[in-house]
Amino acid sequence: MGSLDGMNPGDSAPFRWPAIRIPASILGALPLMATMPFMFFPKVLEGDTQPWVLLASLLALATFRTGRFVLAKDAPLLSVALLCVPVYAMRSDLGQDLVRAAYTYFSFVVSWLICRREQGDVFPTAVKFTVLVWLAVGLYQYVFVALGLPIEIAGRFVEGRSGVPSLTSEPATYGSLSLLQIMYLMGQEKGRTTPFLCAAAISIVLSGSLLAFLLLGFPLLKLPGRLRVPVILAIVGLIGADYAFSASGVTSRVLAFNQGAENLAAILLDPSLNLRVGHVYFTLYENLANSLLFGGEISFMQQYNAFAAGSSLFIDTGSNFILTALGDVIYGTGMVGLVLLMLFFRSSLAACDTLRAKVQKGAFMLACMLNPISMSNIFLILYAQKKE
């Protein structure tokens, strides 16, 4: 006679998948963890900003470790961030730019609150997951481009002039955020990180971001001395492999960059570099005093293009999107934005135990925010709150 489950006595026990137990306290963060690789994709809104991370963060805000809602020491930072919305609105027209600014500061507040609840068991896993997804998509794009096969790429991509963007908005974003993920994962006490650090380094090569390569000095400084030379040799090997295989990653960017870079002045002929340098110069020097004192209405494209025409050096910009996060905050919200940045950096450096750690972290965050890595980006917030 068979047993109750239909097996005869003596039959081997059926295979059972191991039970995966997820603590109830982190269930509310699971949608956010799953959404993080897709912060730029699929695109339903114009521009780079998409609503996926904010929607998942709002769910986590109401369900993920709600017992730790707001720390008293964060109140000034979060209050000033929210104050930036009406300050921006007073100098701008109703429209897409105001919506984007409101999204940025509101997302910053929500993400800061969510990341404060981290206990080392949620977001490191989410960052590792993002690294793997972005690498898989980046490799797929890289191989298809190298083989000349048709491929749909959601982010901005110019074949022969840049690396691939993976699921991000553009190759430079792919490389810069991969570097930010490396800095966050370094020094994590729980779980293995080496495979994910290697994966993120490969992503930087695929992205072709020259800036990300320049900033590799920051993680190299954090490595033990005995590991620096082997890591540098491994990176050189990856670049050599890219050159030998297809030159579709960093090699394509270097070759395109060198086409007009016969001298120092000609380097600024590269459109990407020209716009980035120009936006930094205009927002953080040329127009700085006017921005801090709330001079005039917000009309970046018109004002910048007038400046560019008068300089005879910089090219026109095609949108109101500012290619430096620091400049974006100060240009739009003036003195209030400057106070917000000071509070943001102060809170971030408070997580460092030594002066050296403070200097390294502050310099790296400054380098990130001289680029379009918004202060509302969850990877930047995770790194800002990370203890050093």
The residue-averaged pLDDT of 297-303 equals 93
* 165 cis-preceded (ω within 30 degrees of 0): no
Angle 44-172-263 (CA atoms, 0-180°, nearest 5)? 140
Q: Quickly count helices (H) and strands (E) in the chain.
A: 18, 0
Q: Are 92 and 359 in contact (CB under 8 A)?
A: no
Task: Point out the domain boundary residue: 233, 259, 285.
Answer: 259
Q: Is residue 12 domain-resident?
A: no
Q: How far apart are CA 387 and CA 167, in angstroms?
A: 29
Q: What is the mean pLDDT of the chain?
A: 85
Tell me the residue range of the domain where 351 lies: 67-117+268-388
Please check whether residues 331 and 382 belong to one and the same domain. yes
Task: Point out the domain boundary residue: 220, 242, 259.
Answer: 259
pLDDT of the residue at 4: 44
Backbone angles phi, psi at 191, to 5 degrees: 80, 165
Q: Is residue 327 domain-resident?
A: yes
In the chain, % of residues over pLDDT 70: 86
Task: Point out the domain boundary residue: 229, 259, 289.
Answer: 259
The residue-averaged pLDDT of 320-342 equals 95
In the chain, how many domains are there?
Answer: 2
Please check whether residues 219 and 297 belong to one and the same domain. no
pLDDT of 189 higher than 60 = yes
- Which is more confident, 138 or 249? 138
pLDDT of 357 higher than 50 = yes
pLDDT of the residue at 253: 64
Q: Is residue 76 domain-resident?
A: yes
Q: Is residue 225 domain-resident?
A: yes
- Extract the tokens encoding 141: 């794009």
Please check whether residues 311 and 281 belong to one and the same domain. yes
